[in-house]
């Protein structure tokens, strides 16, 4: 074989070589090998050894002597996740600390990473987890993420003080603190210069900040966190995209936030026991309360709904003398200093809403005539005041009338066969004592029969009425009533609920099916 041919053969053999493994590859041309790397420090670089064990219990030991605490392992062919252990000294003090890598990448080792893993192991000796190998490492990897959130939440005031509240001590950039530095990735080590985090071997951790009283926490229970949930509504319907925040009641330190979903619900988790203030916010909206106090003890919490209403609206309920809603009450809003009036009429539940208002002070006035007495209805207040502004752009104003209300209900069925008739319009019209039909807006109430042929009109004021049933190409007749004297054209609502039943038939039935010919 010629020299040229030999060289070509060798190149072909080399091009076919490579490595692979579940932890990453050994690197190809232009691609660095898969590694787990980081910094081992505890206020200063840890000088000693760093070892890595994969989930197949394969140890890999590296002598650690770098002055900046850095280390690196090639993990090609190893099985993730990986558990790391640093043994050595920092500032003359001995340390054995642990960390974890879910895959190749960064895995720093420091007292905070050690605390996160200890919380994830619920106080179990980390040396035993490391020694046991695969099952324990995989289980711990599955719990480390939540453990990190719990540790960050529980120590939030301390972490916030040093500017590291959102720092992941394992995965984020981490360097040994250099005196006078303000680099963000050195601040965690700066904190570790001044704060001791010590596991006592009995399932507890003691955290001591220079000049402060020690904090002792049980690793199994002392880092438990909880959630707060609730709902946000507008005019009784779900309101989405409301930002809800949870802050410390004393310091205002933010602990979490969430946006209400399409169904109006929100959930904020990872809250340690304590006192908080929960605040909803959405541009253009005000709420029934600006915030809610919250005490988290040892359970998840649920708040009453935060209620809002259409911006620049006055709404409310008018109750009857017998504690039901009162329909047909005209409620007006007059801006102070103005002659213009906007009004709305209450529905069967006594509810009303007057919209289209602007900033200002208003006088809200209810009115209705008691037809039986031919006099104005009295209310618990002749009027009430309401003020709207950009910080409180709705008002709820309720009244109680000295007039009872009742329900008019019944059913509509076919004359032939008795089948239920759906979609029949039922119109209840007030009458004067002299028998005249009244046509003003607060004198007419309407509904439609449902799939079962049933209808109901609630909140009907005492008075005289006629009830008209209509459906295209059909005729109706009263078939039964709760009062023997009642007719569809004339009955009174006064002493109780009223029932009126109807039968219907096609109008063609009256002409033998010839459509009136």
Same-domain status, 454 and 387 = no
**116 lies in some domain:** yes
Q: How confident is the model at residue 31 (pLDDT cuts 50, 70, 90)?
A: low
Domain of residue 86: give its range.
35-218
Give the residue-averaged pLDDT of 81-101. Answer: 95
Same-domain status, 238 and 212 = no
The pLDDT value given to residue 100: 97
The token pair that represents 380 in the structure block = 């618990």
Same-domain status, 115 and 136 = yes
Give the residue-averaged pLDDT of 143-171. Answer: 95
**517 lies in some domain:** no
Answer whether residue 19 shows pLDDT above 90: no
The more confident residue out of 213 and 371 is: 213
Same-domain status, 67 and 187 = yes
Answer whether residue 58 shows pLDDT above 80: no
The pLDDT value given to residue 2: 43
Q: How confident is the model at residue 101 (pLDDT cuts 50, 70, 90)?
A: very high
Q: Which of 19, 54, 15 is nearest to 36 (CA)?
A: 54
Same-domain status, 299 and 339 = no
The residues, any chain, with a CB within 8 Å of residue 174's CB and separated by 6 or more, are: 38, 39, 41, 108, 110, 185, 188, 189
The more confident residue out of 439 and 282 is: 282
Answer whether residue 16 shows pLDDT above 60: no
How far apart are the two ends of the chain, measured CA to CA in Å?
Answer: 114
**6 lies in some domain:** no
**273 lies in some domain:** yes
Same-domain status, 432 and 384 = no
Same-domain status, 494 and 413 = yes
The pLDDT value given to residue 216: 94
Same-domain status, 323 and 297 = no
Last residue of a domain, one of 308, 334, 351: 308
Structurally, how many domains does the chain consist of?
Answer: 4
Place of tokens 């009642």: 486
Same-domain status, 384 and 245 = no
The pLDDT value given to residue 172: 97
The more confident residue out of 484 and 7 is: 484
pLDDT tens readout for residues 307-349: 998 999 999 999 999 999 999 999 999 999 998 899 999 999 9
The more confident residue out of 125 and 57 is: 125
| Gap between the Cα atoms of 101 and 170, Å rounded | 8
The pLDDT value given to residue 314: 96
Q: How confident is the model at residue 65 (pLDDT cuts 50, 70, 90)?
A: low
| Gap between the Cα atoms of 174 and 86, Å rounded | 15
Same-domain status, 247 and 290 = yes
Provide the percentage of residues in the chain whose pLDDT is more than 90. 78
Same-domain status, 99 and 46 = yes
Q: What is the CATH number of the domain that holds 378?
A: 2.60.40.10
Answer whether residue 242 shows pLDDT above 50: yes
The pLDDT value given to residue 372: 79
The more confident residue out of 14 and 207 is: 207
Last residue of a domain, one of 184, 218, 252: 218
Answer whether residue 6 shows pLDDT above 60: no
**29 lies in some domain:** no
**5 lies in some domain:** no
Last residue of a domain, one of 188, 218, 248: 218
Mean pLDDT for all residues in the chain: 90
Provide the percentage of residues in the chain whose pLDDT is more than 70. 91
The pLDDT value given to residue 64: 62
**139 lies in some domain:** yes
The pLDDT value given to residue 169: 97
| Gap between the Cα atoms of 20 and 26, Å rounded | 6
Same-domain status, 203 and 103 = yes
Give the residue-averaged pLDDT of 281-306. Answer: 95
Strands (E), 154-300: 195-199, 204-209, 215-218, 226-234, 237-238, 243-248, 254-259, 265-271, 274-281, 292-296
Strand order in the sheet with 195-199: 195-199, 204-209, 215-218
**175 lies in some domain:** yes
| Gap between the Cα atoms of 437 and 517, Å rounded | 32
The pLDDT value given to residue 466: 96
């Amino acid at each position: 074989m010629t020299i040229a041919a030999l060289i070509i053969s060798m190149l072909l053999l080399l091009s076919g070589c490579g490595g692979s493994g579940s932890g990453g590859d050994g690197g190809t041309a232009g691609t660095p090998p898969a590694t787990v790397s980081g910094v081992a420090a505890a206020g200063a670089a840890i000088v000693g050894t760093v070892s890595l064990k994969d989930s197949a219990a394969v140890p890999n030991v590296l002598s650690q002597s770098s002055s900046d605490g850095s280390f690196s392992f090639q993990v090609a062919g190893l099985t993730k996740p990986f558990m790391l252990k640093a043994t050595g000294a920092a500032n003359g003090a001995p340390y054995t600390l642990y960390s974890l890598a879910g895959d190749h990448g960064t895995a720093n080792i420091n007292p905070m990473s050690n605390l996160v893993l200890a919380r994830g192991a619920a106080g179990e000796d980390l040396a035993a987890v490391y020694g046991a190998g695969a099952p324990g490492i995989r289980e711990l990897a599955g719990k480390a993420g939540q453990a990190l959130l719990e540790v960050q939440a529980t120590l939030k005031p301390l972490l916030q003080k040093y500017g590291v509240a959102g720092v992941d001590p394992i995965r984020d950039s981490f360097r040994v603190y250099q005196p006078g530095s303000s680099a963000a990735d050195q601040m965690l080590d700066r904190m570790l210069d001044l704060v001791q985090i010590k596991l006592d071997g009995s399932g507890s951790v003691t955290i001591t900040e220079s000049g402060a009283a020690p904090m002792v926490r049980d690793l199994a229970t002392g880092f438990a966190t909880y959630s707060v949930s609730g709902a946000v509504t507008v005019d009784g319907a779900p309101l989405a995209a409301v930002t809800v925040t949870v802050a410390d009641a004393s310091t205002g330190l933010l602990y979490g936030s969430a946006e209400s979903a399409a169904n109006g619900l929100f959930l904020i988790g990872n809250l340690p026991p304590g006192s908080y203030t929960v605040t909803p916010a959405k541009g253009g909206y005000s709420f029934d309360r600006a915030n809610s106090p919250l005490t988290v003890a040892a359970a998840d919490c649920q708040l009453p709904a935060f209620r809002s209403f259409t911006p620049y609206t006055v709404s409310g309920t008018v109750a009857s003398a017998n504690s039901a809603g009162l329909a047909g009450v005209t409620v007006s809003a007059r801006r102070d200093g103005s002659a213009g009036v906007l009004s709305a009429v209450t529905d069967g539940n006594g509810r009303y809403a007057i919209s289209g208002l602007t900033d200002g002070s208003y006088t809200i006035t209810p009115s209705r005539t008691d037809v039986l007495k031919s006099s104005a209805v009295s209310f618990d207040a002749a009027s009430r005041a309401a003020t709207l502004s950009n910080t409180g752009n709705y008002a709820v104003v309720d009244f109680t009338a000295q007039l009872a209300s009742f329900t008019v209900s019944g059913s509509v069925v076919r004359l032939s066969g008795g089948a239920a008739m759906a979609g029949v319009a039922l119109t209840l019209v007030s009458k004067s004592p002299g028998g005249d039909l009244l046509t003003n807006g607060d004198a007419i109430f309407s509904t439609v029969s449902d799939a079962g042929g049933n209808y109901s009109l609630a909140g009907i004021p005492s008075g005289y009425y006629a009830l008209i049933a209509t459906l295209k190409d059909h005729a109706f007749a009263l078939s039964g009533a709760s009062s023997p004297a009642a007719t569809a054209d004339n009955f009174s609502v006064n002493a109780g609920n009223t029932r009126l039943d109807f039968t219907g038939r096609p109008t063609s039935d009256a002409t033998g099916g010839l459509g009136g010919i």
